[in-house]
Structure 1
Amino acid sequence: MPKSPSPHGLVVRDLHELRELADVSALFEKIWGSTPGSSPMGVEQMRALAHAGNYVAGAFKGGQLVGASVAFFAAPVGEVLHSHVTGALPGHRAGLALKLHQREWALERGLRRITWTFDPLVRRNAHFNLAKLGGRPVEYLTSFYGAMDDVINGGDDTDRALVAWELDHPAAIAASASHSAPVAIPADAVTVLSVRDDGLPAVGRDDATTVFVEVPPDIEALRRIDPGAAKAWRLAMREVLGGLLAEGARVTGFHDRASYVVTRDTTA
């Protein structure tokens, strides 16, 4: 795939060379706060994936690597790309540039969907994945990666939401044009999970068709300063969002940069 220019002075391109892949591994270590040699993706893994025709790309600004993404083909065969790791330094908008490049790459190969996982407690990632890109969480995965002791995860359980990004959906098309698709919210929507004044989670009534599931403002800081509160949030999000998805409810958006919008299927 040719180099993809960005309006923010970024160039996104496929990567194959060992030197470049070593730079990606080092960048991931920096972003995740991993110990040396414990990058989320090793050079050998990326080399093998790239050589086999999978997606390994980097975002450069002024010749400097500021973001990278690694993805591989997934089931159903010929339809899905699974984006395993994407990391970007703040202040460059490299995360968005990489996702849009990844979407073009997938469409050129006839794929219809990109999936990835993210921590549903990280508010900025939820806003990016849902409001900016138009992806939708479709499954709640409890302790998906087991224990991870890097700076970002801080020893917390690695619960993840699996996002499905339908590449021809109007929300994804809007994202490719740098627009966010509006979310319709009924007047009788209620908040089922919210942030109390002391920062702890509060679970409320959940009998409405559409509910808000609020995300704590900064779970990563909370893990450092109050691990007990962070654990309470993990369990509350697992119970509420995990329970809603398990019963067949749909996440339809992310409201006010703070809350998942979840709608139950009333036709069942």
Structure 2
Amino acid sequence: MEHEEAAARAGVVVRELCEIGEFEQVYRLFDEIWRPGPTNVPATVELMVEFAHTGNYVAGAYAGDELVGASVGFRAAGRALHSHVTGAVVGRGIGYALKAHQKWWCLERGLERITWTFDPLVRRNAYFNLVKLGARPEEYLPDFYGVMADAINEGDESDRLMAVWHLDEDTGADHDPREATVRLWEGPNGEPVLEPDISPQPALEPGISPQSRTLLVGTPSDIERLRRDNAYAARAWRRAMREALGGAMAAGGLVVGFTTRGEYVVSIT
């Protein structure tokens, strides 16, 4: 099965968790990844206990006896699971193994999609979500969580994309259109370069369908490093992304892919 193969490739065993000691391991792992403040813990032990006891999703990836990844989610409206938080050791395929297990868990229970939020500025996450998994962002959420006091997000507004993974669809692979307008890209010193908004299309005769156009919205190569080294440029990226991608989606644009260069592909009619 796909989730077992993914776990084997990553050298882990992924399973649901149910014991206090296991939830404490997850708490410690998340603490090591995010180093959150006391008011910004990703998931408390008590919350995980309640989620697991009420039929929600709490799973861990183990390499031997060591917990190297975990995911916590809850059932949502419309036959969905909302993946609240997932964290794993980077670069070993553990995140994909967790998502494959999550997909199998949902299909076993008749659920049709998985949703989660992610920072639109983190290029590797966007590539993983859109290209490797085939999820699609369906909503841009400005400053969704408010102030986040942790080592990764501190000092930045918490804009997020709501990703939706329809489990019965195969929409992965990168997307590199031949003709597109580049709206946002990375300058030579890591700063965002934002082109002015495109003028709306002229009015058409009745019965004539408007032509779609494609925008490319770039991402910084490493926003986490930029937050440490150049906070001004990082904040400028947040504002530029909100205007370019958030504005396009608010106007009805659909994110249909992600390029190998790190750009969101947005189709606008």
Q: Same fold (TM over 0.5)?
A: yes
Q: Match of 1:170, SS?
A: coil
Deviations along 1:131-186, whole A, 9 cap, x unmatched? Answer: 11000111000111110120110221000000000001012xxxxxxxx535362x
Alignment of 1:110-121 (within 5 A): 110-121=110-121
Q: Match of 1:145, SS?
A: coil
Distance change (3 Å), C-alpha of 1:26 and 1:55: same
Deviations along 1:48-67, whole A, 9 cap, x unmatched? Answer: 00000000000011221000
Equivalent position to 1:49, from 40, 48, 51: 51
Task: Give the equivalent residue in structure 2 for 1:175.
Answer: none
Task: Give the equivalent residue in structure 2 for 1:203.
Answer: 194
Q: How far 1:202 sits from its partner (Å)?
A: 1.0
- Rounded to whole Å, the distance in 1 between the matches of 2:13 and 2:224 is 30
Contact 1:194–1:203 (CA under 8 A) maintained in structure 2: yes
1:11 aligns to 2:13 (yes or no): yes
Task: Give the equivalent residue in structure 2 for 1:31.
Answer: 33
Task: Give the equivalent residue in structure 2 for 1:219.
Answer: 223
Alignment of 1:254-265 (within 5 A): 254-264=258-268
Distance change (3 Å), C-alpha of 1:215 and 1:112: same
- Rounded to whole Å, the distance in 1 between the matches of 2:261 and 2:111 is 30
Q: Match of 2:165, SS?
A: strand
Q: Match of 2:9, SS?
A: coil
- Rounded to whole Å, the distance in 2 between the matches of 1:141 and 1:84 is 15
Counterpart amino acid of residue 20 in structure 2: L
Counterpart amino acid of residue 48 in structure 1: E
Q: How far 1:21 sits from its partner (Å)?
A: 0.2
User: Structure 1: any 5+ residue segments left out of the alignment?
Assistant: 172-179
Task: Give the equivalent residue in structure 2 for 1:83.
Answer: 83
- Rounded to whole Å, the distance in 2 between the matches of 1:159 and 1:63 is 36
Distance change (3 Å), C-alpha of 1:163 and 1:38: closer
Equivalent position to 1:61, from 63, 68, 72: 63
Q: How far 1:39 sits from its partner (Å)?
A: 3.1
Q: How far 1:211 sits from its partner (Å)?
A: 1.1
1:103 aligns to 2:107 (yes or no): no
- Rounded to whole Å, the distance in 2 between the matches of 1:56 and 1:138 is 25
Contact 1:115–1:163 (CA under 8 A) maintained in structure 2: yes
User: Structure 2: any 5+ residue segments left out of the alignment?
Assistant: 199-211
TM-score by length of 2: 0.89
Greater gyration radius: 2
- Rounded to whole Å, the distance in 1 between the matches of 2:11 and 2:228 is 35
TM-score by length of 1: 0.90
- Rounded to whole Å, the distance in 1 between the matches of 2:37 and 2:154 is 13
Task: Give the equivalent residue in structure 2 for 1:233.
Answer: 237
- Rounded to whole Å, the distance in 2 between the matches of 1:182 and 1:130 is 8
Identity over aligned pairs, percent: 53
- Rounded to whole Å, the distance in 2 between the matches of 1:102 and 1:262 is 28
Contact 1:26–1:39 (CA under 8 A) maintained in structure 2: no
RMSD over equivalenced CA pairs, Å: 1.7
Alignment of 1:165-180 (within 5 A): 165-171=165-171, 180=172
Distance change (3 Å), C-alpha of 1:163 and 1:12: same
Counterpart amino acid of residue 167 in structure 1: L
- Rounded to whole Å, the distance in 2 between the matches of 1:130 and 1:8 is 20
- Rounded to whole Å, the distance in 1 between the matches of 2:88 and 2:242 is 27
Select the structure with the greater relative contact order (CA < 8 A; seq sep ≥ 6).
2
Q: How far 1:247 sits from its partner (Å)?
A: 0.9
Q: Name whichever of 208-217 and 130-139 sits farther off.
A: 208-217
Task: Give the equivalent residue in structure 2 for 1:249.
Answer: 253
Q: How far 1:36 sits from its partner (Å)?
A: 6.8
